[in-house]
Amino acid sequence: MSEISSAGMTSPSAEKVNTKRLSARIDALPASAGLWRFIALLSLGGFFELYDLFQTGYISAGLLAENIFHVGSQGVFGLSDQAAFASSTFLGLFTGASLLAPYADRFGRRLTFMCALAWYGCFSLIMAFQNQAEWIIFFRFLVGVGLGIELVTIDTYLTECVPGYLRSKAFAFAFFVQFLSVPAVALMSWWLVPQTLFGLTGWRYVVIAGALCSLVIWLIRKNLPESPRWLAQQGRHSEAHQVVSLMEARCGVPCTAPRDNEIETGEIIEKKGTFRDIWRPEYRQRTLMLVVMNFFQSIGFFGFGNWLPALLSGKGASITHSLLYAFFITLAYPLGSLICSRYADRIENKWQIVLSSLMTVIFGTLFALQSNPVLLIICGFCITWSNAWLTYSYHAYQTEVFPTFIRARAVGFCYSFSRLSTVFSSILIGMILQVAGSQGVIAFIVISMLIVMLVIGVFGPKTRGLNLENI
């Protein structure tokens, strides 16, 4: 007998039956070519988000050469325009992740990331044709808002659509696809930034390429289905099972969908999460842990990634050579993610975060002591590899530890602190670079990663192989 209350609403027990049945179907999906194609398609949007994030350090040289940006107190805010440019990006990311990403819990993952990707592409294109530092920095802030929404939504969507045994490996592969953008933007900057083509300086072409390609990906990705777990959480169980049926067909397995009369129906009960929910006793420690982790990991990740050409220049390399060295170093982002995907599901995500941070500490210290170009590239390659390892492991980890009804809100809130810290650390790193040189910046990064190791190692729960509903 159907477990429907007299008021016509689905009973709690029926809700649990539907959710468990749906979760079991998702977790039973095989690691087929169809599933990997789905993961790759979802990751393509993130390709251009990371392309845009990492272009900060590379196109700044072109903006300085065109006399749009100025150094030191000559900048528009009395600071280096490069620092203000980086800070505006991360202020936008903070705004998008903390204030707008929660809409993914309300309106769905698919609609939210489609709107965010279109927003990013349009404002990037507008920014490419600006000639004043003030307007470039302003539109860079708006671009950051779209990026902040997109990255959080992709993470929640990916977690909810892949089987539990494959989550970490799926994230590693997804970031392999996304991190291909880093050497791409480094190579394009090395080639284009020093040039002027058809009256436009090279840095503009770097921005335009990312904007136009992201709009193409928007057209490709618009046919992606909604997250089945989100649909089920909204009470739309029939639609959720239909989406999983499509995923089963894509994976080449027999459909295991229940018949319509086996799916509990009735008046939809929406379980809407609020900001207060992420501070409930069962989630409070996780929220605080991830806030601290995000705040300090971004210093290590973006402190090295965005300032890599400047750090290499501080070691005596010319602008052209520093961009070329940076290209070889950034190859570690996709290669590191691809290699890590071989063992991603064999180690707890919390320990992967700790080990990758330790790797940054070791090779960051060695980088600070080097002056030989070959050794600089080797140490930089290893730091970049560890950053790639850290990235996929913590992105997977923070989406696993919160339930579906607050996942985007909680992840967006915690993730936003990585963006907020970078707003200030971008300025601080610029000051440290001027006063203490490359060694001072690396010391700052090393201390930050030691804090990440401590907080995750001590307070992080285990998640490996567990069903999302049981973590």
Stretch among 60-69, 229-238, 349-358, 404-413 having the lowest mean pLDDT? 60-69
Per-range mean pLDDT, top range of 38-52, 93-107, 360-374: 93-107
Provide the b/e sequence for 131-166 (b: ≥16 CB within 10 Å): eebeebbbbbbbbbbbbbbbbbbbbbbbbbbbbbbb
pLDDT of residue 414: 93
Nearest to 464 by CA among 381, 343, 375, 373: 343
Instruction: Place 11 in a pLDDT band, splitting at 50, 70 and 90.
Output: very low
pTM for the whole thing? 0.79
State phi, psi for 370 to the nearest 5 degrees. -100, 155
pLDDT of residue 202: 86
Stretch among 108-117, 164-173, 178-187, 260-269 having the lowest mean pLDDT? 260-269
pLDDT of residue 308: 58
pLDDT of residue 119: 92
Stretch among 32-36, 51-55, 248-252, 317-321 having the lowest mean pLDDT? 317-321
Whether 279 shows a pLDDT value over 90: the answer reads: yes
Reported as a single tens digit per residue, the pLDDT across 304-359 is: 655 555 555 555 554 445 556 667 777 888 888 888 888 888 889 999 999 999 99
pLDDT of residue 456: 95
Whether 464 shows a pLDDT value over 50: the answer reads: yes
Whether 190 shows a pLDDT value over 90: the answer reads: no
Angle at 324 between CA 323 and CA 330, to 5 degrees: 85
More reliable by pLDDT, 265 or 182: 182
CB 111 within 8 A of CB 158: no
pLDDT of residue 444: 84
Reported as a single tens digit per residue, the pLDDT across 210-225 is: 888 888 888 877 778 8
Cα distances (angstroms) measured from residue 362 to each of 79, 392, 442, 459:
32, 20, 11, 23
Instruction: Place 270 in a pLDDT band, splitting at 50, 70 and 90.
Output: very low
Instruction: Place 230 in a pLDDT band, splitting at 50, 70 and 90.
Output: very high
pLDDT of residue 458: 92
Whole-angstrom distance, CA of residue 247 vs CA of residue 31: 12
Query: Considering the chain, what is the average pLDDT of its residues?
Result: 81
Whether 5 shows a pLDDT value over 50: the answer reads: no
Stretch among 65-69, 73-77, 338-342 having the lowest mean pLDDT? 73-77
Reported as a single tens digit per residue, the pLDDT across 120-165 is: 889 999 999 999 989 999 999 999 999 888 888 888 989 998 998 8
Token digits of residue 254: 């027999």
Whether 453 shows a pLDDT value over 90: the answer reads: yes
pLDDT of residue 18: 66
Instruction: Place 395 in a pLDDT band, splitting at 50, 70 and 90.
Output: very high
First to last CA, the chain: 31
As a three-state string, the secondary structure of the chain is: CCCECCCCEECHHHHHHHHHHHHHHHHCCCCCHHHHHHHHHHHHHHHHHHHHHHHHHHHHHHHHHCCCCCCHHHCCCCCCHHHHHHHHHHHHHHHHHHHHCCHHHHHCHHHHHHHHHHHHHHHHHHHCCCCCHHHHHHHHHHHHHHHHHHHHHHHHHHHHHCCHHHHHHHHHHHHHHHHCHHHHHHHHHHHHCCCEECCEEHHHHHHHHHHHHHHHHHHHHCCCCCCHHHHHHCCCHHHHHHHHHHHHHHHCCCCCCCCHHHCCCCECCCCCCCHHHHHCHHHHHHHHHHHHHHHHHHHHHHHHHCCHHHHHHHCCCCHHHHHHHHHHHHCHHHHHHHHHCCCHHHCCHHHHHHHHHHHHHHHHHHHHCCCCHHHHHHHHHHHHHHHHHHHHHHHHHHHHCCCHHHHHHHHHHHHHHHHHHHHHHHHHHHHHHHHHHHHHHHHHHHHHHHHHHHHHHHHCCCCCCCCHHHC
**Averaged pLDDT for residues 399-418:** 91
Give the percent of the chain with pLDDT over 90.
21
